[in-house]
A and B are shown apart, each in its own frame.
Chain A
Amino acid sequence: MKYAGLLVMPAGFFLSIAAILLFPAPAPRAAFVLCGLAVEGLGLAVAVRGHMESRGGSRP
């Protein structure tokens, strides 16, 4: 699960890059960059969740 989250994060980065390439207008550009950050946040949340589960399974 941690690895899945970390794999999602680059997708958010590429979304942000696509935003500055595809949208010259400021508003949609900013919106899509924020969407990219949201995807990264989602990936980070999944990775953290995966970390917590793995820790829960290996506590002494």
Chain B
Amino acid sequence: MTPITPSPLVPVLTEAVFALTLALLFLAPLAIAGVALINVGLGRSRSAAQSLLGNLALLAVSVIVFALVGATLAGAPGAAGHSFQLAGKPWNWLGAGPLFLGGLGSASPQAQLTLLFEFLAVALAVMIPWGSGADRFRLTAGCAAAAVLAALVFPLAAHWIWGYGWLAQLGVNFGLGAGFLDGGGAATVHLLGGLSALAVVWIAGPRRGKFPKEGLSTALPGHNAVYVLFGCLVALVGWLAWNAAGAVIFLHASLAALPVTALNTLLSASGALAATFAVTRVRFGKPDASLCANGWLAGLVASSACAGLVTPGQALFVGIVAGIATPLMVELLELALSIDDPSGAVTVHAAGGLWGLLAAGFFAPLPGQLVAQLVGIATLFGLMLPVVYLLFWLLNRFVPFRVDPDGERIGMDLHELGGGAYPEFVIHRDESYR
């Protein structure tokens, strides 16, 4: 089995490859379902219905906004784009298709396949910050933030990386490998989503009672470990499909290269889970279920960048490193940096995606690929994080992100929906507030 060597040309898919990729994209929403379950399980029981409804609402809002505006800005490989000349090279920075659903139905089937992938990607990307804002992020504000991400931020990243924009052209223009490579959305979906989660956490602030005036932070464990762990299994199916479809569409992989892509995805997740299991067993005396789930997901996220580009041994290594780093970083963020991130999205999606992108640069058999990956990472960190923070900060002035203290006390379900997720259960008074 050999990893895929990406080509800068956009080949026409044969009917068999097209049909298989479409079938894979029908399975890819299971990744979204898995992340939604994990988001719900890691939140509190009194916010469970609001959390899951939020995941659905954000999906709907992001898809509609992306159809109206974002898809035009994102463009597709080979489609028209706005570009400027700098140092004698074209810098394709924005898609130039028709606005407001124009062209979606009349685009070529292959372009529609790419668009379908991007629609699913934007839905997953907007869910990531929603999980981080659990138990205090208002539904309206979550939808507004999703609209901003789907209309402006995600399309730019998607065009630069997937729409043959300037990051994808780093190879052609500057001899940097095959340009910035991100077959499964580690950058466009996970790193961007994780950085957006950091912005949400900074703006919304921590949950009430999370960081008391004195002493360590208060543990506010997720309410349903079964949802979280079942979400991990569901996400695996989605990820296998997602990485294979991304390898065909963006890395131009042949059918023969797909089994190793799927195998690498599985190995990365498995290595990550085993490593997190071992680290939490050593740290706490017993393995921690929610951290193991985070480790598994971090392995999947890391595989999004490199599953099609590395050997199985390298994929296992990538997963093990992700699994070791995840519990340590979750602790660091919470205990040392006062970041209250209930779903661990900053660690899992931002750090996991970052590691996967770096690993793709280290292991891809192309000269200059590591520098291309570093430039892409620098773009998302240095440009996208400040932009997202600024947009969310402005949005927060008009649509406050954080629920009022009374709403947080009674729970998001009762406050925002008027009823709880578990009406027959006794919801205990919160004893953990100090």
The answer to whether A36 touches B386 (Cβ under 8 A) is no
- Complex Cα–Cα for A56 and B337 (A): 11
User: Is A1 interfacial (CB 8 A cutoff)?
Assistant: no
Kindly count the residue-residue contacts between A and B in the assembled complex, taking CB atoms under 8 Å apart.
83
Cβ–Cβ contact A40 & B382, under 8 A: yes
Looking at B201-209, B246-254, B269-277, B295-303, the stretch in contact with chain A turns out to be: B201-209
Q: Which of B86, B339, B375, B389 contacts A16 (CB 8 A)?
A: B375
Q: How many residues of A contact B (CB 8 A)?
A: 32
B329 CB, nearest partner CB in chain A, Å: 13
The residues of A that contact B176 with a CB separation of less than 8 Å are 20
A37 touches B377 (CB 8 A): yes
Q: Are A52 and B338 in contact (CB under 8 A)?
A: yes
- Chain B residues with CB under 8 Å of A43's CB are 382
Q: Is B370 an interface residue (CB 8 A)?
A: yes
Question: Do A60 and B378 touch across chains, with their CB atoms under 8 A apart?
Answer: no
How many angstroms between the C-alpha atoms of A51 and B23 in the bound complex? 45
B residues 294-352 touching A (CB-CB < 8 Å): 337-339
Return B368 CB to nearest CB of chain A, in Å.
7
Complex Cα gap A9–B377 (Å): 12
The answer on a CB contact under 8 Å between A60 and B371 is no
Q: Is the CB of B368 within 8 A of A26?
A: yes
B14 CB to nearest A CB, Å = 36
A52: B residues at CB distance < 8 A: 337-338
List the B side residues contacting A26 at CB < 8 Å.
367-368, 371
B170 at the interface (CB under 8 A from A): yes
Q: How far is the CA of A48 from the CA of B389 in the complex (A)?
A: 13
Residues of A within 8 A of B212 (CB): 59-60
Chain B interface residue count, Cβ-Cβ cutoff 8 angstroms: 32
Assess whether A7 is in contact with B386, with CB atoms less than 8 Å apart.
Answer: yes
Are B383 and A10 in contact (CB-based, < 8 A)? yes
Contacts of B371 in A (CB 8 A): 20, 26, 29-30, 33
Closest to A39 in B: B382
B386 and A60 within 8 A (CB): no
Q: Which residue of A lies closest to B382 (CB)?
A: A13
Known: A59-B213, A60-B209. A33 touches B382 (CB 8 A): no
CB-CB < 8 A to A30: which residues of B?
370-371, 374
A7 to B153, CA, bound (A): 18
Closest to A56 in B: B338
Question: Cα distance A37–B379 when bound, in Å?
Answer: 9
Q: B379 and A9: CB pair below 8 A?
A: no
- Contact yes or no, B337 A9, CB < 8 A: no
Known interface pairs A14-B382, A40-B382; 12 further A-B residue pairs with C-beta atoms within 8 A, sorted by A's residue number = A9-B385, A13-B378, A26-B371, A36-B378, A37-B378, A43-B382, A44-B381, A51-B339, A55-B205, A55-B338, A58-B205, A59-B211
Please give the residue numbers on chain B whose beta carbons come within 8 Å of chain A beta carbons, in ascending order.
Answer: 86-87, 170, 174, 176, 202, 205-206, 208-209, 211-213, 337-339, 367-368, 370-371, 374-375, 377-379, 381-383, 385-386, 389-390
A-B contact pairs, 16 of them (CB 8 A): A7-B386, A10-B386, A11-B382, A16-B378, A17-B375, A21-B86, A21-B87, A30-B371, A36-B382, A37-B374, A40-B378, A51-B202, A51-B337, A55-B205, A55-B211, A56-B338
